[in-house]
A and B are shown apart, each in its own frame.
Chain A
Amino acid sequence: MSKRVAIIGIGMTKFGELWDKRYRDLITEAGADAIKDAGIDGEDIEGLYIGSMSPGLFAGQEHIGALVADYSGLSGIPATRVEAACASGGLALREAYLTIKSGAIDIVVAGGVEKMTDVSTSSAMIALMGAGDQEWEAFKGVTFPSLYALMARRHMVEYGTTIEQISQVAVKSHHNASLNPDAQFPFKVTLEQVMNSAIIADPLRLLHCSPITDGASAVVLASEEKAKELVDDPVWINGSSSATDTIALHDRKSLSRMDSTIIAGKKAYKEAKIKPRDIDFAEVHDCFSIAEILAIEGLNFCKLGDGGKITENGETEIDGRIPINPSGGLKGKGHPVGATGIAQAVEAALQLRGKAGKRQVKDAEIALIHNLGGSGATTVIHILKRN
Chain B
Amino acid sequence: MSEGLAIHWRLIPQRYNLVGTECLKCGEKFFPPRQLCPNCRRVGEIREVKFSGEGEIYSYTVIHTPPEGFEFMKPYAMGVIKLIEGPFLTAQLVDCKPEDLEIGKRVELVFRKIIADGSSGIIRYGYKFKLKD
Q: Do A and B bind each other?
A: yes
Q: Which residues of A contact B (CB under 8 A)?
A: 57, 120, 122-123, 125-126, 129, 133-143, 145-146, 149-151, 153-154, 157, 198-204, 248-251, 255
Tell which of A57, A135, A157, A249 has the most Cβ of chain B within 10 Å: A135
In the assembled complex, the CB of A170 is this many whole angstroms from the nearest CB of chain B, namely 17
Contact residue among B1, B11, B63 (Cβ-Cβ distance under 8 Å from A146): B63
Contact residue among A141, A201, A255 (Cβ-Cβ distance under 8 Å from B114): A141
Contact residue among A120, A136, A146 (Cβ-Cβ distance under 8 Å from B78): A146
Please encode chain B, from 54 to 71, with 1 for each CB lying within 8 Å of some chain A CB and 0 for all others.
000011111111111111
Supposing A201-B63, A202-B98 touch, asked if A139 and B126 sit within 8 A by C-beta, the answer is yes
Residues of B with C-beta under 8 A to A248: 32, 90
User: Can you give 26 A-B contacts (C-beta < 8 A)?
Assistant: A126-B1, A126-B68, A133-B32, A135-B11, A139-B114, A139-B115, A140-B91, A141-B76, A141-B78, A141-B92, A141-B114, A145-B63, A146-B61, A146-B63, A150-B61, A150-B80, A154-B58, A157-B103, A200-B63, A202-B61, A202-B98, A248-B32, A248-B90, A250-B90, A255-B58, A255-B59
Tell which of B68, B88, B103, B114 has the most Cβ of chain A within 10 Å: B68
User: A141 contacts B66, CB within 8 Å?
Assistant: yes
Contact residue among B1, B59, B126 (Cβ-Cβ distance under 8 Å from A150): B59
Residues of A with C-beta under 8 A to B6: none
Please encode chain B, from 30 to 50, with 1 for each CB lying within 8 Å of some chain A CB and 0 for all others.
001000000000000000000
Residues of A with C-beta under 8 A to B1: 57, 123, 126
Tell which of B60, B61, B114 has the most Cβ of chain A within 10 Å: B61
Q: Would you call B5 an interface residue if the criterion is a C-beta within 8 Å of the partner chain's C-beta atoms?
A: no
User: A140 contacts B114, CB within 8 Å?
Assistant: yes
User: B67 contacts A135, CB within 8 Å?
Assistant: no
For residues 67 through 113 of chain B, which have their beta carbon under 8 Å from a beta carbon of chain A? 67-71, 73, 76, 78-81, 88-92, 98, 103
User: B80 contacts A137, CB within 8 Å?
Assistant: no
Residues of B with C-beta under 8 A to A154: 58-59
In the bound complex, what is the Cα–Cα distance between A356 and B59 (angstroms)? 41
In the bound complex, what is the Cα–Cα distance between A141 and B67 (angstroms)? 7
Residues of A with C-beta under 8 A to B60: 150, 153
Contact residue among A143, A157, A202, A255 (Cβ-Cβ distance under 8 Å from B66): A143
Tell which of A139, A151, A248 has the most Cβ of chain B within 10 Å: A139
In the assembled complex, the CB of B19 is this many whole angstroms from the nearest CB of chain A, namely 13
User: A123 contacts B61, CB within 8 Å?
Assistant: no
We find that the number of chain B residues with CB closer than 8 angstroms to chain A is 37
User: A251 contacts B88, CB within 8 Å?
Assistant: yes
What are the nearest 5 A-B pairs in CB distance?
A149-B61, A250-B88, A122-B68, A202-B62, A141-B70
User: A198 contacts B3, CB within 8 Å?
Assistant: no
User: A145 contacts B90, CB within 8 Å?
Assistant: no
Residues of A with C-beta under 8 A to B3: 134, 139
User: B64 contacts A126, CB within 8 Å?
Assistant: no
Residues of A with C-beta under 8 A to B124: 139
User: B67 contacts A201, CB within 8 Å?
Assistant: no
Residues of B with C-beta under 8 A to A151: 59
Residues of B with C-beta under 8 A to A137: 90
In the bound complex, what is the Cα–Cα distance between A139 and B90 (angstroms)? 10
User: B63 contacts A125, CB within 8 Å?
Assistant: no
Contact residue among B62, B81, B90 (Cβ-Cβ distance under 8 Å from A142): B90
In the assembled complex, the CB of B24 is this many whole angstroms from the nearest CB of chain A, namely 20
In the bound complex, what is the Cα–Cα distance between A249 and B32 (angstroms)? 12
Tell which of A123, A140, A201, A204 has the most Cβ of chain B within 10 Å: A140
Residues of B with C-beta under 8 A to A249: 80, 90
Supposing A141-B114, A202-B61 touch, asked if A125 and B67 sit within 8 A by C-beta, the answer is yes
Supposing A136-B32, A150-B59, A249-B90 touch, asked if A126 and B80 sit within 8 A by C-beta, the answer is no
Residues of A with C-beta under 8 A to B65: 125, 143, 145, 200-201
In the bound complex, what is the Cα–Cα distance between A151 and B90 (angstroms)? 13
Supposing A149-B61, A202-B62, A250-B89 touch, asked if A140 and B68 sit within 8 A by C-beta, the answer is no
In the bound complex, what is the Cα–Cα distance between A200 and B92 (angstroms)? 16
User: A255 contacts B78, CB within 8 Å?
Assistant: no
In the bound complex, what is the Cα–Cα distance between A198 and B74 (angstroms)? 14
Residues of B with C-beta under 8 A to A134: 3
